[in-house]
Amino acid sequence: MGSKAVSKLEEIQPKIIAGQVWREMDPRFKTRRVQIVAIGLGLGLATIMNVENGRTNRVKVERFNGKRTEYGYFPEDNTAAAKAKYTHQLVPK
């Protein structure tokens, strides 16, 4: 993958940061949103929390790529107004 392709991907899917909200892109789950809780760089895993029910899980960071059946980033899900609507969310320390 050339540097132009990498920079184009970063425009669409930003760097994964704790606190971000991502959507499940799998069509079976219409509105599932998860929040990044922590990223374990050594293991290549991210801990995520479902903002609707508070359930936590660990997934490979490669799944945050916007493809079908993976997770996609939508800026409108990360506004203060949108985050205020989520039942479960990270409490800033």
- Measured between alpha carbons, how far is 56 from 39 in angstroms, rounded to an integer? 13
Instruction: Provide the residue range defining the domain that includes 48.
Output: 15-85
Task: Please report the pLDDT score of residue 13 as a whole number.
Answer: 66
Q: Is 71 a domain residue? A: yes
Q: Is 2 a domain residue? A: no
Task: Please report the pLDDT score of residue 12 as a whole number.
Answer: 58
Task: Please report the pLDDT score of residue 47 as a whole number.
Answer: 94
The neighbour count for residue 74, using CB atoms within 10 Å, is: 12
Q: Is 65 a domain residue? A: yes
Q: Is 1 a domain residue? A: no
Cα 28 to the center of its chain, rounded Å: 17
Q: Is 50 a domain residue? A: yes
User: Tokens 């799998």 — which residue?
Assistant: 26
- Encode the chain (93 residues) as per-residue pLDDT tens digits: 444 443 444 455 678 999 999 999 988 877 789 999 999 877 889 999 999 889 999 999 999 998 888 999 999 988 988 888 887 766 554
Q: Is 36 a domain residue? A: yes
Task: Please report the pLDDT score of residue 9 as a whole number.
Answer: 43
Specify burial of residue 63 (Cβ count, 10 A radius: 0-12, 13-18, 19+). middle
CATH number for position 79? 2.30.30
Q: Is 33 a domain residue? A: yes
Q: Which residues contact 40 (CB under 8 A, 6 or more apart)?
A: 46, 47
Number of domains in the chain: 1
Query: What is the rounded end-to-end Cα distance, in angstroms, of the chain?
Result: 38
Q: Is 90 a domain residue? A: no
